[in-house]
Chain A
């Protein structure tokens, strides 16, 4: 059975039906590049006006305009608000009332696309494996990133959060239209990783999504993460304005000028420093969501009333912080380089600015306690990674889980720790799961591209897809379409249950009190220390004048040869890259 042309609010759309095997009747309907909204530069998205005739949704659209990985050019396009849908189909009748999973990609709110990185024409965020194994509908989509997605003056002239509003438009579109594709509009699960995970969290907290979201999954990211909310957006807006020749004294004039400025120039006017920066790199993530008093009406910690009826899974990778650690303390990955106490103290100071010297000292002391017994470089380097993992991912996630549980009415709360070690050959032997290592398993790469994967990897992937899709179906990861290797018990405030996801998942994989000593330190001990800077708003990374924005390059490549119609060339990058 297949859908053929589907009628949506914008008009008819037709995808492609892909048979899954030669003999069986199972297939998957795939729609690529359905428009869900339109947006002008630095403005909120609007409903798409629709189209005439039947739209052929057969190719992924270009990603949203963003800097390339080297940050010296742009790729993608400004007209980018499109989504993709995978619908599993049986032999006899078209699917009906299926659960819907909507993916929000990560990339530090700076990069990324709905289809993700391309490897031999297999896209990282291809929804086919999840859809067909879990018998759910999968939706992925683009949202604006970088300055074009999150530039804000901190007032009504440029409120920011354009990328978040794009995400909301996609979710709302799914709510209105997914029934026509065989989905259940009252059973929508949003899930995402890194900045996508923080976005998932923020979308559940925003009053705009009331009644739209039934369940949510955050993989390695949270609204409470220190890299999820920008507290001094005006500083960064002025930085961009100076670079592109816009006035900076009056935010009204600044905003009007920025809106008519070349979007590519806006994109290239900001560069994330990845070498020799004075502070941990997290402080330079300039264009991220803001508290705008509307879409995000208050500090996220005060918005958990809005999640009372949204079932939630949240977890991290056990070495999520490694990606940041390699930038902040490069010696971490170098066998022949050593991490020193001074290195670590400087890192700690950079993350505890609000509490000044006392904060830094207390934090340094608790994290270096084990150094007396084990002064090896391996232990010191692991400490650096553990510290970054705690500060940026683990502690915010644990606090959020507690908040979600505390405010829950009908909602269930689940927690996990992904610890299947990274398979990057260049990493140290003690390496666990780095940031973004979970993506390939959630999206079924050990099945879609089996070469290079081992049976244990397929076991991890199978388990994750089973838990995720069961949860999407029923709100309970143990009940649904797929068998699971062990029962996953809900999170409780008393013992903090979590499932340890790795190659062998047994009843012993259910664990408690994850990093309890450090959680107590951050949640209680550190919090009661006196704040020395008034508030963190006054912390402003220094402006680096040596980074002169390059001229927007001439786009001669578009003349000859004609660029491919998808991102298959531009998007070439290692699958594990991602924030």
Chain B
């Protein structure tokens, strides 16, 4: 069985769309009229009042503030969501702060607020409609598909994939935690995949298996770049108890939604913040999150680290035949951006058992004290560790060292750091700080840049 819609083609319920282990139910997508997809344009000229573009009436594009000289980014919501949700409009507003862009919210709420399986099938029609809109831009306005960027969350990511597979020369797709159910493990024509655009980047935030962990997003690598913040499965800050999570956020609805799907929704929150933080989401190529956490993937390779989110396409030329995996850590709450530093420390003074913390002071501010080492502090020994700072401290001016062991030491031992080497993740340069002093526990030791003679 199949249905056909004007300008969109035909949609069947044969394999691989239905009747398979992954997609067992035979369902056909709804008609465009029933889904009632809307294309809501925001631009720098009308950042808060959308203009409605109609596929059936290209003169609405002409009447609008759409500019052919600008890039166009489509933002596509997922299951249950709708195009006027705050996050969708906030995406546009953040973009207007950094660029001049045509920002089109694709509102398909009628097609998404139904049973999941039906919504998953409606994806095909919405994707075809997005492709049709791009086609109108190309044919009627001499617009280049390479200037189009589709950003889809959850089911919206697969809408983008469908649109991309129908649009030759599409510039970019960003998948924000593409949904797992009905899509993971399907052939490329069904789901988002690297062939859908010149550059496909994906952020995974809820990649734990749906059963039994209720992870909504896919673990499958479906882009040129697949980013796995915090490992891609559990986002920090998402394990608060239900009550605090609900009360924290304005309104019962928002709170409940955030609690139930917190990991899943983080993907668009990271993207949202990445727009205003061009260097706060550096991601490290790595074989696994375990390796990343074991500090085996530091610093960035010679060609640098891509930024997860809005600026990922600056590395688009580095795509390879093999899909690439990237890892990074984020914060627990708003202001998720983090800057990764490695600290290498050589002890001096007495031998003691204890723990060692370091904080960095720079031109832009300072970090909190970060744990570097626990165990036997032995003079002359060198230890390294990495941590994620809440800010980019800028040019590092000094380093502060602190140790303690919470054991009564009648002899009041003193420990120092003869040398601390600091390296920022995206840089090759190592910065050295030296001190000849030693301190008792819980006393801060300040290390200043080493004198030239000390490094000889």
What is A's interface to B at a CB cutoff of 8 Å? 243-246, 253, 256-257, 259-262, 265-266, 269, 549, 551-552, 554-556, 559-560
Assuming the contacts A262-B40, A262-B52, A560-B252, asked whether A555 and B84 have C-beta atoms less than 8 A apart, the reply is: yes
Verify A256–B59 contact, CB threshold 8 A: yes
Instruction: Report chain A residues within 8 Å CB of B253.
Output: 556, 559-560
Tell whether A245 pairs with B63 under 8 Å between CB atoms, given A555-B84, A556-B251. Answer: no
By beta carbon, the residue of chain B nearest A551 is B48
> Is B64 located at the chain interface by the 8 A CB criterion?
yes
Cα distance A262–B48 in the bound complex, in angstroms? 9
Tell me whether B28 is interfacial, beta carbon within 8 Å.
no
Q: Identify 9 residue pairs between A and B in the complex whose beta-carbon atoms are under 8 Å apart, listed by A's number.
A: A253-B63, A260-B60, A260-B64, A261-B46, A262-B49, A269-B49, A556-B85, A556-B254, A559-B253
Judging by beta carbons under 8 Å apart, are A244 and B46 in contact? Answer: yes
Residues of A near B60 (CB, < 8 A) are 260
* Residues in A neighbouring B387, C-beta threshold 8 A: none
A253 to B48, CA, bound (A): 19
Q: Chain A residues with Cβ under 8 A from B48's Cβ?
A: 244, 265, 549, 551-552
Q: How distant is the Cα of A260 from the Cα of B38 in the complex, in angstroms? A: 12
Q: Does B45 contact A (CB under 8 A)?
A: yes
Across the two chains, which residue of chain A brings its CB closest to B82? A559
In the complex where A245-B65, A253-B63, A560-B253 touch, is A261 in contact with B85 (Cβ < 8 A)? no
With a cutoff of 8 Å between Cβ atoms, the chain A residues found around residue B151 in the complex are: none
- Find out whether the CB atom of B252 lies under 8 angstroms from the CB atom of A259: no
**Cβ contact of A554, chosen from B52, B59, B65, B85, cutoff 8 A:** B85
A551 to B48 alpha-carbon distance, docked (Å): 6
Query: Who on chain A is nearest to B87 by CB?
Result: A554
8 Å CB contacts to A: which residues of B6-63? 40, 43, 45-54, 59-60, 62-63
B46 x A554 contact (CB < 8 A): no
B254 contacts across to A, CB distance below 8 A: 556
Query: Closest CB of chain A to B92's CB: distance in Å?
Result: 11
A549 CA to B46 CA, complexed, in Å? 12
Contacts of B54 in A (CB 8 A): 260
- Chain B, Cβ-Cβ closest to A41: B52
Q: State which residues 237-280 of B face A: CB under 8 Å.
A: 251-254
- Which of chain A's residues has its CB closest to B50's CB? A262
Given known pairs A256-B63, A257-B63, the reply for A554 and B47 (CB within 8 Å) is no
In the complex, which residues of chain A have a beta carbon less than 8 angstroms from the beta carbon of B84?
A: 554-555
- Please determine whether B52 and A260 come into contact, CB atoms closer than 8 angstroms: yes
The residue that A261 contacts in the complex, of B51, B59, B62, with Cβ under 8 A, is B51
In the A-B complex, list the 3 residue pairs whose CB atoms are closest, starting with the nearest: A245-B46, A265-B49, A256-B63
Residue B159, interface by CB 8 Å: no
Question: What residues of chain B have their CB less than 8 Å away from a CB belonging to chain A?
Answer: 40, 43, 45-54, 59-60, 62-65, 84-86, 89, 251-254
Across-interface contacts of A266 in B (CB, < 8 A)? 49
Q: Which residues of A contact B50 (CB under 8 A)?
A: 261-262, 265
Q: Nearest B residue to A549 by beta-carbon distance? A: B48
Question: Given A246-B46, A257-B64, 7 other A-B contacts at CB below 8 A?
Answer: A257-B51, A259-B63, A549-B48, A551-B48, A556-B85, A559-B253, A560-B252
B85 / chain A contacts, CB cutoff of 8 Å: 554, 556
| Chain B positions within 8 Å of A261 at CB level | 46, 49-52
Other-chain contact of A260, B43, B47, B63 (Cβ < 8 Å) = B63
Residue in chain B with minimal CB distance to A254: B63
Residue A552 contacts which of B43, B49, B251 (CB distance < 8 angstroms)? B49
A245 touches B252 (CB 8 A): no
In the complex, what residues of A have CB within 8 A of residue B252's CB?
560
Given contacts A555-B84, A560-B252, contact A245 B53 (CB under 8 A): no
Closest to A243 in B: B49
Residue of B nearest to A259 (CB): B63
Nearest chain B CB to A562 CB, angstrom units: 11
Given known A-B contacts A256-B63, A260-B60, A269-B49, A245 and B251 have beta carbons under 8 A apart: no
* B52 A245 Cβ-Cβ under 8 A: no
CB distance from B269 to the nearest CB of A (A): 16
CA of A551 to CA of B85, assembled, Å: 13
Question: Nearest A residue to B41 by beta-carbon distance?
Answer: A260
Complex: A559 Cα to B253 Cα, angstroms = 8
Q: How far is the CA of A253 from the CA of B59 in the complex (A)?
A: 11
Q: How far is the CB of B1 from chain A (nearest CB, A)?
A: 25
Contacts of B62 in A (CB 8 A): 256
CB <8 Å contact, A244 and B251: no
Set of chain B residues within 8 Å of A552, measured between Cβ atoms: 48-49
Q: Are A245 and B40 in contact (CB under 8 A)?
A: no
Inter-chain CA distance A212–B60, complex, in Å, is 37
Query: Roughly how many angstroms separate A269 CA and B253 CA in the complex, as a whole number?
Result: 28
CA A47 – CA B449 in complex, angstroms?
81
**Inter-subunit contact B89/A262 (CB<8 Å):** no
B40 surroundings in chain A (CB, below 8 A): 262
Q: Assuming A262-B40, A556-B251, is B49 touching A244 (CB within 8 A)? A: yes
Q: How far is the CA of A245 from the CA of B40 in the complex (A)?
A: 14
Residue of A nearest to B64 (CB): A260
Q: How far is the CA of A374 from the CA of B53 in the complex (A)?
A: 65
In the assembly, what is the distance between CA of A259 and CA of B53, in Å? 11
**CB-nearest residue of chain B to A253:** B63
Q: Which residues of A contact B51 (CB under 8 A)?
A: 257, 260-262
B-side contacts of A560, CB under 8 Å: 252-253
Residues of the A chain whose Cβ atoms lie less than 8 Å from the Cβ of B251: 556
Q: State the CA gap A243–B46 with chains docked (Å).
A: 8
Name the residue in B48, B64, B86 with the highest tally of chain A Cβ atoms < 10 Å from its Cβ.
B48
Alpha-carbon distance between A552 and B105 when the two chains are bound, in angstroms: 15
Residue of B nearest to A269 (CB): B49
| Nearest opposing residue in chain A for B47, CB measure | A245
- Closest CB of chain B to A331's CB: distance in Å? 38
Report how far A495 CA is from B162 CA in the complex, Å.
79
Closest CB of chain A to B41's CB: distance in Å?
Answer: 8
- Closest residue to A256 on the B side, CB-wise? B63
Tell me the complex Cα distance, A265–B50, Å.
8
* Alpha-carbon distance A269/B49, docked complex (angstroms): 9
In the bound complex, what is the Cα–Cα distance between A245 and B67 (angstroms)?
13
What is the minimal beta-carbon distance from A372 to any residue of chain B, in angstroms?
A: 55
Q: How many Å lie between the Cα of A155 and that of B86 in the bound state?
A: 37
Q: In whole angstroms, what is the CA distance A253 to B45 when docked?
A: 14
Contact (A257, B52) CB under 8 Å given A245-B45, A245-B47, A554-B84:
no
Choose from B49, B86, B89 the contact partner of A245 (Cβ within 8 Å).
B49
Report the separation of the CA atoms of residues A244 and B251 in the bound assembly, to the nearest whole angstrom. 28
Residue of A nearest to B88 (CB): A554
